[in-house]
Structure 1
Amino acid sequence: MVFLNNKILTERRSFFAHRFSMQKSVRQTLLMGTLLLATFVSTTLLSSMSQAATTADQWLIRFADAMYSYHYSGVLVYSREGQLDTVELSHDVSEAGEEARLSYLDGIPREFLQRGNQITQKISGETVASDRIHGRNPSGRFSGGLEQVKKYYQLQLKGQSRVVGRPSVVVEIIPRDNQRLGYRLWLDKESALLLKSVTLDPLSRELETFQFTSFAFTQRDKPLKKSDDKAAMPAASLPWLPEGFEVYMVKESVPVSETHLANMFSLSDGISTFSVFVEPLRADSLKEGVHQYGATVVVVRKVLNDNLAQMVTVVGEIPLHTARKVADAF
């Protein structure tokens, strides 16, 4: 997944937690559908200035501004682990908030809708999940500003290319350590909107790719004013976190199955995000193990502290060894 700031990325962590009470194909659909919205929907304010971009920093500033300056739509493909999905996406922003619609074009009809802070998933026309977006600047993309991001990532301009017949520039986001993933972005040269993204592991191997195969956009007469949420971070901490990651949202008693509730902690370093679910250990709890779906990893671990048995699940876009270390610290 790329580093775009999306207000529903954290909700896909919660929906992913439902995966063990659903048929596998359905639960993966919910995860990947919300992930796609997370990739191509909104960004956080980086800067109020609009300028001709000549550096990677300037292109990312243009990219952040573009989400409030254009309506766009198209068909894109999502590839990971040899699997390919085709989806149709439209996105707009108004004074009332964001509106986005993502529909799978293959297999069972599946659709994801966002209207303001409400996100809804439908399968064959039937609503299967719906929730509201909560918390401060959900997903934390660029939440600390560009200078904060640059403490943990190098930003490089990698030249020019073409995607879906349009001239583009390539920006690479390179981690300064092995505790986070890297990203390569193709931005439309005219609008600075995202045309393609590749997520890279610490060895620069491709984990997943998003790419438009058809793309259209229209410019607004007047760009919308962007909000800059200055709300305080939650007063919460975890036993161990990689440097730079902070808790930006805490939700108690999140439903993770039909009968289970968990406390959820969402974390970000300004680009990469992950969530931790902590719940009491039960006879029907999940089995310990690790899973990976493209760039998203899942680590499930049982822990015993002060005679209290708990289940810890780490879900997010971080390297597997990082997720394991977060879980093992409990």
Structure 2
Amino acid sequence: MMRTLALGLALAAPLAAPVAIADPTPAQALLEEMTEASQQLQYRGRFLYQLGGEVSTMELSHAVIDGKQYQRLTHLDGRLVEVLQLGDEVVCLHPNGTLTRINDNDTGLLAFRDRLSSSIPEQYNVLVDGDGRVAGRVTTRMRVAPLDNHRYGYRLWVDRDSSLLLKSEMVDASGLAVERVEFVSLDLEPGLERSDFQLPKVIAERSLESVAAASPERVHVEAGWLPSGFEAADRDWRRVADLRQPVTAQSYTDGLATFTLFVESVASDQVEEGVSRVGPTVAISRVQNLDQRVYLMTLVGEIPQPTAERIMEAVAIRATDKRP
């Protein structure tokens, strides 16, 4: 999952220590320019994506054609996978020659830049932190620091000329980077055209659709405790996997960090409880019984593990009325 940050008086500050801005306008203006640049400029670049101990090389192309955004994200090592944004549509090309049309535009790495806007939640403090260099270009460093330990912070490097985000790190409470995105090359005049975003012929297509009242029984998820600033979003969101029953899901966000609670009915011999982590992403599974049935609850999100475990301790499920 990857991430999108004027310069004003803050750039003239000493580099020996981070500069907390009493008037938030300069930092907010820089974030706003970063978001606008990522959406309006034409560019192509290669970057390294580090998640835990794994490092991948990717290429990102972006253009605005007839007023709509076009993006192509290509994995350059390992299996060939591409994610394309074609105006309002997002598609994923798989190495087996199939294509998935995605009706959910929050595609992790692409959507992160849009969430980093001028409206940073009050649970974070935005700091201008000197300057640096990324991909041979002069940058302005920024920090988005959480005010508690229930969410990760971010270190950002913004290109001084174009305002594009060239490097981002998601960091834990000790300052250790748990996820890193860093451009190694950038072309601001790539001459991209619609043909650069053309879909190849595929052998099969499928769609990930939301399911409306597809299940004979409905289960509602209740989070008994949430960190300050987190609110529910995307209520009763459902996905259908091949040969499986619909899964109830409830997403929560503070405006930057997100996590989702999934609930599905399972046979008792299918239950697997546990905890796993990959970089900043944690997954916790627990079991609850309701009306003589067994349900598996799973939390997946980019929040610290102790916070996720505390949330899971307070989660409850209840049956709701059937929809007509």
Greater C-alpha radius of gyration: 2
| Letter in structure 2 aligned against 1:288 | E
| Letter in structure 2 aligned against 1:151 | E
Give deviations 1:21-70, integer Å, cap 9, x for gaps: xxxxxxxxxxxxxx23xx25xx9xxxxxx784733222112112222331
Name 2:78's counterpart in structure 1: 107
Q: Size of the alignment, in residue pairs?
A: 269
Q: 1:250: Cα distance to partner?
A: 2.3
> What does 1:1-330 correspond to in 2, within 5 Å?
35-36=1-2, 39-40=3-4, 52=8, 54=10, 55-94=26-65, 97-124=68-95, 126-127=97-98, 129-133=100-104, 146=118, 149-218=120-189, 238-256=223-241, 258-283=243-268, 285=270, 287-330=272-315
After superposition, the Cα gap between the structure-2 partners of 1:145 and 1:56, relative to the gap in structure 1 and judged at 3 Å, is closer
Give yes or no for contact 2:287–2:297 (8 Å, CA) kept in 1: yes
2:61, 2:113 → 1: CA distance?
Answer: 21
Give deviations 1:160-216, integer Å, cap 9, x for gaps: 000000000011011101110000010000111110011111222110111011112
| Letter in structure 2 aligned against 1:263 | T
| Letter in structure 1 aligned against 2:232 | V
Give yes or no for contact 1:110–1:123 (8 Å, CA) kept in 2: yes
After superposition, the Cα gap between the structure-2 partners of 1:139 and 1:270, relative to the gap in structure 1 and judged at 3 Å, is farther
Q: 1:72: Cα distance to partner?
A: 1.7
After superposition, the Cα gap between the structure-2 partners of 1:108 and 1:140, relative to the gap in structure 1 and judged at 3 Å, is closer
Give deviations 1:111-131, integer Å, cap 9, x for gaps: 122223332222226125332
After superposition, the Cα gap between the structure-2 partners of 1:188 and 1:134, relative to the gap in structure 1 and judged at 3 Å, is closer
How many percent of aligned residue pairs carry the same amino acid?
30
- Unaligned regions of 5+ residues in structure 1, if any? 1-34, 44-49, 221-234
Give yes or no for contact 1:139–1:267 (8 Å, CA) kept in 2: no
Give yes or no for contact 1:141–1:271 (8 Å, CA) kept in 2: no
SS at match of 1:62: helix
Give yes or no for contact 2:221–2:261 (8 Å, CA) kept in 1: no
After superposition, the Cα gap between the structure-2 partners of 1:249 and 1:140, relative to the gap in structure 1 and judged at 3 Å, is farther
After superposition, the Cα gap between the structure-2 partners of 1:53 and 1:187, relative to the gap in structure 1 and judged at 3 Å, is farther
TM-score (norm 2): 0.73
1:104, 1:170 → 2: CA distance?
Answer: 27
Give deviations 1:137-164, integer Å, cap 9, x for gaps: x9798879746x3420011111000000
Give deviations 1:72-103, integer Å, cap 9, x for gaps: 21111111222111111112344564321111
- Unaligned regions of 5+ residues in structure 2, if any? 11-25, 192-219, 316-324
After superposition, the Cα gap between the structure-2 partners of 1:288 and 1:116, relative to the gap in structure 1 and judged at 3 Å, is farther
SS at match of 2:151: coil
After superposition, the Cα gap between the structure-2 partners of 1:142 and 1:124, relative to the gap in structure 1 and judged at 3 Å, is closer
1:92, 1:125 → 2: CA distance?
Answer: 27
Question: What is the Cα-based RMSD across aligned positions, in Å?
Answer: 3.1
1:53, 1:281 → 2: CA distance?
Answer: 58
1:188, 1:264 → 2: CA distance?
Answer: 38
| Letter in structure 1 aligned against 2:260 | S
Q: 1:257: Cα distance to partner?
A: 5.6
Give yes or no for contact 2:285–2:299 (8 Å, CA) kept in 1: yes
| Letter in structure 2 aligned against 1:253 | R
Give yes or no for contact 1:142–1:270 (8 Å, CA) kept in 2: no
2:190, 2:57 → 1: CA distance?
Answer: 26
